[in-house]
A and B are shown apart, each in its own frame.
Chain A
Amino acid sequence: MIEKTDVIIIGAGPVGLFAIFELGLLNISCHVIDNLDKPGGQCAELYPEKPIYDIPSRVSITGQQLTDDLLAQAKPFKPVYHLNQQVEKIAKIESNEWLVETSHNNKIRAKCIVIAAGAGSFVPRKIPLENLDLIEEKNILYAVRNKSILENKDLLIVGGGDSALDWTNELSKIANVTLMHRRKEFRAAPDSVSKMLELEREKKVSFLLGQIHNIEDLKNNKIKVLVKNNDEIKSFEVDYLLPFFGLKMELGPIANWGLNLMENLIKVDTEKFETSVPSIFAIGDINTYPGKLKLILSGFHEAALMAQECFKYCFPDKKNVFRYTTSSKELHKKLNTS
């Protein structure tokens, strides 16, 4: 089934969320796609607890509060969120609309695409060793999609955060798990940490102090992980290595859409914030133009001007009457009935 909307916003960070509001004011409907499992982008993923001081009128607001407030502000316009997935392909179709396909095989068509993808999508940080490609395909899992392949296998899980601890606890039920971290302190939730320590006492999980030094393919479906602790190197043979070093941001498939780029940023004009491809816009940290400042407030401004131009694509026969939110009866109706 192909869903239909007016505008597809790629990225549910603060600027993508505010774009829903600005487009909504002009009666433009949106679907929003994000690779994370929750809206908020960097604000929610990297610094939910850190105060931000340069949002107009907010003396101080945390990344999570800002996200929650933007979600509430966008809610009356009934956006549809597609989380946990990345836009893989875009194509122009006969109706002169865009057809967008996500990594979950969702298909959505729309008149405009707004890229509000910040520094790109969050992907697991990989091990920076050379010549890992073959092993990465077979023996290294940066995310667990199918637990059943791990049954009764020897696993080395690496990291000290929530993902590492949660998977250690979970997979210890079905596999032979060793957790390795560079120190015996963890920044994961206290519950998961005590659970892991309990499993270690019961000898259901082994803990190893150290870091990955090198990895060799043993060509028998197993790998040898060389582990370094201080200056001592030991080796471990395992079926799978599961490194959890947090997330990093990558531009991803956007780089292949034929947009004019400059150092991984998308070039736009400063009147409409449109890219080199008509009806594809880029707002927020992902765009560049003379004088660009990577601030959330710049992204908000860009969202407002982008919406004006999207209106022309969405309603080519209608006149766009400029109204303030203080006096727009239509808007008040929406807010009251929401």
Chain B
Amino acid sequence: MKIKVTDREGKKHELEGDTNSTLMEILRDAGLDIEAACGGCCACATCHVYINDQWLDKISSKDDDEESMLDQAFDVRNSSRLSCQINLSEDLDGIELELAPE
């Protein structure tokens, strides 16, 4: 499955995803500049991304924990998600997203 990411400089990356991973793990392991300080337990907000609108309703919705952690992020939008909370699945093949400011 493919993941299309725009980094903070506007450069586009096409990554290979797999359904055993979270979105954060794919971004981090591809060497993109995403801190993911807590390692994926929804305890920081350093894997903040903007999901392209057309993909938003295909992803499971945010829980309270994630909404709370987003309070620590900058420029939170409707399309804001913490990428560690998104489990990849085949329906998300081709998902497009952008890294949020650090």
Contact = CB atoms under 8 A, between A and B. Distances in A.
Interface in B67-90: 67-68, 70-76
Interface in B1-50: 35, 37-39, 41, 43-46
B75 A47 contact: no
A-side interface mostly = loop
A50 B41 contact: yes
A75 interface: no
Interface in A301-321: none
A50 B44 CA distance: 13
B71 A125 contact: no
A125 B74 CA distance: 10
B91 interface: no
Contacts, number: 49
Interface string A233-254: 0000000000001101100000
Contacts of A125: 72
B41 A245 contact: no
B76 A249 contact: no
Contact of A211 (B35, B37, B39, B75): B75
Contacts of A248: 35, 37, 44, 46
A279 interface: no
Given A211-B76, A248-B35, A50 B71 contact: no
Interface string A241-278: 00001101100000000000000000000000000000
26 contacts: A42-B37, A42-B38, A46-B37, A46-B38, A47-B43, A50-B41, A125-B72, A127-B74, A128-B74, A128-B101, A128-B102, A160-B71, A181-B71, A182-B70, A182-B76, A187-B71, A211-B76, A212-B74, A213-B75, A245-B45, A246-B44, A248-B35, A248-B44, A248-B46, A249-B37, A294-B39
A46 B44 contact: yes
Given A46-B37, A47-B38, A211-B76, A161 B44 contact: no
Nearest to B46: A248
From A160, A161, A246, A294, residue with most partner B Cβ within 10 Å: A246
A56 B65 CA distance: 28
B76 A246 contact: no
Contact of B72 (A50, A119, A128, A246): A246
A13 interface: no
Nearest to A244: B72
Given A119-B37, A128-B101, A187-B68, A245 B44 contact: no
